[in-house]
Amino acid sequence: MVRKTREHPDLALGTSPRSAVAWLQASRAAAWLAQRNYVTPDDIRSVAIPLLRHRLILNPEAQLDGVQIDPLINAILEQVPVPR
């Protein structure tokens, strides 16, 4: 999913390695709050928007087109299949 943010045509700047680590830590925290000692895809999704919203930078064309970051994050999450 991190790679998808770096390759997305509407983004000038995708997630960094540090944000990938933060995403993992936040997902682990979400699992812990749900009283589980393992992370599920739902944990990853639940923290994605709050975690990535301020880290992704739209390119100027996307800004002019009115692209919003939250739906863009959801679209990126939909592109990656859930592992089985």
Residue 54 lies in a domain: yes
Enter the pTM of the model: 0.86
Domain containing residue 31: CATH number: 1.10.8.80
Domain that holds residue 61: 2-79
Residue 84 lies in a domain: no
What is the domain count for the chain? Answer: 1
* pLDDT, mean of each 10-residue run, the chain (84 residues): 93 93 96 96 95 94 95 94 83
pLDDT of 5 = 93
Residue 56 lies in a domain: yes
Residue 14 lies in a domain: yes
For residue 25, give both structure tokens.
Answer: 């830590």
- Count of alpha carbons within 13 angstroms of residue 52, beta-carbon side: 33
Which position has the token pair 């990535």?
A: 52
Residue 12 lies in a domain: yes
Residue 41 lies in a domain: yes
